[in-house]
Chain A
């Protein structure tokens, strides 16, 4: 992948919005990778948590917004419990999902079929509500 970087690209307004929404300082991350190492669902992600943060640091937010990663996060917060720099990747994921949900009606990862699939399970109420909460920004 080839990135063309400039000061303007890196100072992306939408990344600032992610920082505001998540309450996180993305520049704090120094890429140690403990978030990705501890993440129980990292195997399923197309972009690892530390990679996603690096992309945000470089202003490449659209790539992260289009990723599967932000929908796979189960909000277990293991990443933030192990981050030596106090960055909560789960909160960043919530902010990124909010941006997607607030500006588009559907995404490749979210469709109405999801809702009916969720409703058909015999899972406890908390699981159904929790999963559907991912779809409201």
Chain B
């Protein structure tokens, strides 16, 4: 089965490890992620002002490219997921902005050349935006995924970190039933045989993009999240977001300097953990960019 896939800038550059593991896991599960032949940055942040047109144009182009390939588009990065999904809602429901955006699309000759065959009709929100984890649950099925597991991750204590962008605003994202007590990653981890660690900061903000403008503020946020998982005795944290991983993992270097007796904890992408359970080869499991190496924690449970 082929599903259109939008990687986004970060998975194309700094988070190649995430992209690699996710594609390989999908292969094992019988899904081919078919990358959009043409795509651009989605804009990273959904504009909250109601008159924004330019700010959503890039996201709409990507959705329009996807609509040529199928009725769904899958993405992994939490920011891309948030922007594409919210933009899609604007295109479905906000007639004024839909008309303006389509005027731009029609006027854009370069785009018209690339996507000529479908530009005859406007983009009105034809595709559904799915996160990879939703694809695992709804297209593959967690029970079917569990049947492909070669090594059950028994005894591994994993803390699922959701962050903000998958969940909020709850009414629009509808990622999980409960805004502050989501369970989709818990169900995913249970299917892999892990011990799920519930921790109070699982839906708190990691500091997000403030890390590049106001590092101190962002590190204070990410440290709260890390400390909360450590306190609940987790062996590792999983995330879906390259920026969360950067703030939670790479910035542990700074946390060590600031907090005496700081205890490190590895943070990896959820598809890397899935890859370990599915037994994908090392070539697709790259931990060389992680500041805290997850391998010792995994070796302790005989998983690597």
Contacts and interface: CB of A to CB of B under 8 A. Distances in A.
Given A76-B208, A124-B246, A131-B209, A21 B49 contact: yes
Task: Assign chain B's interface to a size class.
Answer: 35 or more
A130 B44 contact: yes
Interface of B: 8-10, 13-15, 41, 43-45, 47-51, 55, 77, 79-80, 164, 167-170, 179-180, 204-205, 207-214, 217-218, 220-221, 224, 242-243, 246
16 contacts: A40-B205, A41-B205, A41-B217, A72-B210, A74-B218, A74-B221, A75-B48, A76-B168, A78-B164, A78-B204, A93-B48, A123-B209, A123-B246, A125-B41, A128-B209, A130-B208
A77 to B, nearest CB: 4
A108 to B, nearest CB: 14
B212 A131 contact: yes
If over half of B's interface residues share one DSSP class (helix, strand or loop), that class is named, otherwise mixed; here it is: loop
Interface in A14-50: 20-23, 40-41, 43-44
Query: What's the interface size class on A, roughly?
Result: 35 or more
Given A74-B210, A118-B213, A127-B246, A21 B170 contact: no
Contacts of B205: 40-41, 74, 76, 78
Interface string A102-137: 000000000000100110010111111111011010
A131 B164 CA distance: 16
Given A22-B50, A78-B204, A90-B48, A129 B242 contact: no
A127 B15 CA distance: 12
Interface of A: 20-23, 40-41, 43-44, 71-72, 74-78, 80-81, 88, 90-91, 93-95, 98, 114, 117-118, 121, 123-131, 133-134, 136
* Candidate in B9, B10, B50, B210 with the most chain A CB atoms within 10 angstroms: B210
Nearest to A76: B205
Nearest to B173: A77
B49 A124 contact: no
Contacts of A76: 164, 168, 204-205, 208
The residue in B8, B49, B51, B169 that gathers the most chain A C-beta atoms within 10 A of its C-beta is: B49
A130 B168 contact: no
B205 to A, nearest CB: 4
Given A41-B221, A81-B170, A126 B9 contact: yes
B213 A114 contact: yes
Nearest to A128: B212
B243 A124 contact: yes
Given A20-B50, A22-B50, A133-B43, A126 B79 contact: yes
A88 B48 contact: yes
Contacts of B14: 124-125
Contact of A130 (B13, B79, B180, B217): B79
B49 A118 contact: no
Contacts of A71: 213
Given A72-B214, A126-B9, A22 B169 contact: no
Contacts of A78: 164, 168, 204-205
B242 A126 contact: yes
